[in-house]
Amino acid sequence: MKIKIEHADITTLHTDAIVNAANSSLLGGGGVDGAIHRAAGNKLLEECRLLNGCETGKAKITKAYLLACKHIIHTVGPIWNGGNKNEAQLLTNCYKNSILLAEKHKLRSIAFPNISTGIYGYPKKQAAIIAVNTVKQQLLNCKYLEEVNFCIFDNENLELYKKLLK
């Protein structure tokens, strides 16, 4: 199993699934969520309307439509409230449930953005530690998943992930 870092736009990746750091409506928004919805086209919005939203920490899967990947796994990260409202467990669940869903669908590769570190305000270093540790732990139980890509958009996160994955 391989874990890698890619400094790229997640909407351009050729992988079995990309993870969308979605809001609970799953109907698009800002940041990664908005970029994925714009790049995938209107059919994604139509399918997401049928999913009736998603709870924080959970994950749901859709087709990828106009994207280079095959599927989109939508997960809702926690909004940072100082760390005292179960944020760490909820963020852990985002990574865990996304990987479980990838396994359920027998996917071989998945790419994650930096969940909750944008407008949701999760401290980047804490989020990176949770992401790396959770992915490593989950990969121990995977039968199908062979590659996890941390798709990094900004330089601060890029340096954090390089240090954590040395």
The 17-22 sheet, strands edge to edge: 2-7, 147-152, 109-112, 17-22, 71-76, 59-63
Residues facing 20 on adjacent strands: 74
Asked if 148 contacts 5 with a C-beta cutoff of 8 angstroms, the reply is no
Cα–Cα distance between 54 and 57 in angstroms, integer? Answer: 8
Cα–Cα distance between 104 and 64 in angstroms, integer? Answer: 17
Q: Is 9 a catalytic residue?
A: no
Q: Catalytic site residues?
A: 33
